A = this chain, B = another copy of it.
Amino acid sequence: MTETVQRPTLEAVAARAGVSRATVSRVVNGADGVTEPLAERVRQAVDELGYVPNQAARSLVTNRHDAIAVIVAEPESRVFSDPFFARQLRGISKELTAHDNQLVLLLTEGRADHARVARYLAGGHVDGALVFSLHRDDPLPELIQRAGVPTVFGGRPGWSGGRDGVVYVDSDNRGGARDAVRHLLGLGRSRVAHITGALDQTSAVDRLDGFRDAVADADPRLVAEGDFTVAGGERAMRELLERCPGLDAVFAANDLTAAGALRVLREHGRRVPDDVAVVGFDDMLPFAEQTDPPLTTVRQDILEMGRLMARLLLRGLDRTARTHDTSGGDLAGVVLPTTLVRRASA
């Protein structure tokens, strides 16, 4: 390995400065009780030797690592293929960097690895956690809570019933979906279909509720289940065309799903928007502008969601440090508004 350079020890610093180990430890950890000339000698020895304090020991004293874990409850392959996560991480990264906190992304192959993630969280390596893309029945929130790590969730957790103090940042999924479907109805469409997201996630359930708000008497055959992926959108669109060939509009649960639907509509010779109007959700750029035709969609500010998650967590940590109040107090959900962006597809 690369350890050809011996790492300088606390003992070496003490010897070089001509002081005790305890004195070095006090100076390094910012404790009181060391006279300034002595402290200066220690700092000089630290510089000369390039000593780096063992933070595992140090954090027992300071209780702060300036590091925040981010967990996306999806397999690593999905994290890197869905631009939604990259965008949210960008917002988080900008905010954490601005506060000189290290972003620690904990990747997994799947849900089976969540216990290991929780172990790492419990291990005292980070000050807090940002968790997103939770699915129903995922043991992760429970494990995180047990680990005692302050957490902000991206998206409303589905298991919040009965638990106080859960902090989350979400978009107005239901309101955005309602706007999208009302827009389609306003264009004179009467057979509006919906391709859902993964229905074990609250965002998908909320968008389905928004669809139902707008078309209370919707034919149940006009709803097909997707999973927020292009392939899922293709599958669901084929189902819908088979069941309801007369449909004249589709509200897709996200832009990737809409892209899949557009591809299948094209295969079947349906013109968009003339024969079938299509609306997505996310406004993932440049993706949503590059579909054929460019996508009318519900914009949510994903970057800002990430920033806000990080900001709420850091603010909570500061308050905890000042007041030793870990109750969460009045913090709860923050829901950001959405806006409909009109392009050519509807």
Contact = CB atoms under 8 A, between A and B. Distances in A.
Interface of A: 1-5, 7, 50, 52-60, 65-67, 76-77, 80-81, 83, 86, 89-90, 93-94, 97, 100, 102-109, 113, 116-117, 119-120, 122-125, 128, 141, 144-152, 163-167, 313, 316-317, 320, 326-328, 331
A124 B123 CA distance: 11
Given A90-B76, A107-B103, A124 B1 contact: no
Contacts of A326: 1, 3
B328 A1 contact: yes
Contacts of A313: 1
Closest 10 CB pairs of A and B: A55-B123, A1-B150, A7-B148, A56-B124, A80-B86, A105-B105, A52-B122, A125-B125, A3-B326, A103-B107
A128 to B, nearest CB: 7
Nearest to A6: B148
Contacts of A106: 102-105
A2 B328 contact: yes
Contacts of A166: 2
Contact of A80 (B89, B107, B128): B89
Given A1-B167, A103-B107, A125-B125, A56 B60 contact: yes
Nearest to A97: B109
Nearest to A116: B102
Given A2-B150, A2-B328, A5-B145, A113 B125 contact: no
Contacts of A103: 76, 106-108
Nearest to A167: B1
B52 A165 contact: no
B97 A165 contact: no
Nearest to A120: B102
5 contacts: A1-B151, A3-B148, A5-B148, A55-B125, A93-B109
B60 A57 contact: yes
Contacts of A93: 76, 107-109
Given A93-B76, A104-B104, A4 B327 contact: yes
B50 A77 contact: no
A167 B2 CA distance: 7
A289 B65 CA distance: 45
A107 to B, nearest CB: 4
A97 B113 contact: yes
Nearest to A141: B2
Chain B CB within 10 Å, residue with most, of A1, A97, A144 = A1
A317 to B, nearest CB: 8
A113 B102 CA distance: 9
Contacts of A163: 2, 4
